[in-house]
Amino acid sequence: MSYLLNDIAEKLSGDLIGDGFIKIHAPAKIEEAKVGTISFYSNDKYAKYLDTCEASAIILSKANKTAIQEGKNYVLVDNVYASLPKLLALFDPTNNPLVGIHNTAVIAENVSIGDDVYIGPYVIVESGVVIGNGVKIAGQVFIGKNVKVGHNTRLNAGVKIYHNCDIGTHCIIHSNAVIGSDGFGFAPTAVGSFDKIPQVGNVIIEDHVELGANCAIDRASIGSTIIRKGTKLDNLIHLAHNVEIGENTVMAAQAGVAGSTKLGANCMVGGQVGIVGHLTIAAKTQMQAQSGMIKSVKKENTKWYGYPAIDYNNYLRSFASFKNLPSTLEEIRSLKKRLNDLEETAK
């Protein structure tokens, strides 16, 4: 696919400097850009590439006009980073324009399907499902009974959605994510075995949520596991039964949240963070990678690090002492020996 530079400038609400009729075939990093691509500049660390950049056009901040060079083409925008999602969306091959139902899809009779929907090969849609307008469903997706999928949501290949779950509008769910599998609920018996506790709740995913590949979102034992609007989950994240994630929270890969814990809005969770069950985490809490949260956080806008997690700045000070521990111990031994020698001399 290709676009005239005029059209790109219009899409980005930017001001064009140069030839608006050149064709742009792809975006590119400024250090790798070739003729026919469009690049961007917003970080001074990349200033050294401005003179040699071969891109047919560069996106530049309106506040950075001093970087403009004669004879080159530019799109001036208010905020370069804010314009990038719009630019990359133009060249995103996953923006599926297809409409229709593949002849290998298996769809129950009492399924409601909206307008402009695409359902790919070997998809299974069970009874009672409601699929909104503009939904794109890739091959080998399974959608269980009574599931609702909101308008303009995209389900990538191999996604599995168990019965009675609700997916909002404008969501993206990446390959092999599993939504609504049973929560880990078992009751110990007198003889040492475990009886399964039926998990009769569901999962509710609100609007504009994105789930990475291989996420596992457990259904509630009773009630709902809830992911609030605007939340973004990386790959390989597990949310246990009855967890609630506040709106616009972001979680990096391999994080896990145990049952019935509630995170507030706008939290930031680093990779491999583990959060134990039945906690309440205040809004805007930040958890650094590999931290272990074992207690609730009541104050908003705090930072945590370590296992067990402690105040971020406290952790950094503690770590500075810990990494010097061998030399500190050696110094203590030396001082102890000197003290012993002095005591022997004094006798």
Instruction: Annotate 197-222 with DSSP letters as a single string.
Output: PP---EEEE-TT-EE-TT-EEEPPSS
> Which residues of the chain have a pLDDT value below 70?
96
Residues of the chain by 3-state class (helix, strand, coil), percent to 5: 20, 30, 55
Q: Which residue has the tokens 């790959």?
A: 235
For the whole model, what pTM was predicted?
0.85
Q: Are 239 and 274 in contact (CB under 8 A)?
A: no
> Residue 40 gets which letter from DSSP?
E
The full set of domains in the chain, from first to last, is 3-90 (3.40.1390.10), 100-313 (2.160.10.10)
pLDDT at position 95 is 73
For 98, the token pair is 């297809």
Q: Which pLDDT score is estimated for 96?
A: 66
Give me the pLDDT at residue 345, please.
84
pLDDT at 346: 80
Closest CA to 180 of 139, 157, 135, 149: 149
List active site positions.
241
pLDDT in the model for residue 123? 98
pLDDT tens digits for 56-69?
999 999 999 889 99
**pLDDT score, position 328:** 85
Cβ neighbour number for residue 126 with a 10 Å cutoff: 19
Helix or strand holding residue 336 (H, E): helix 325-346
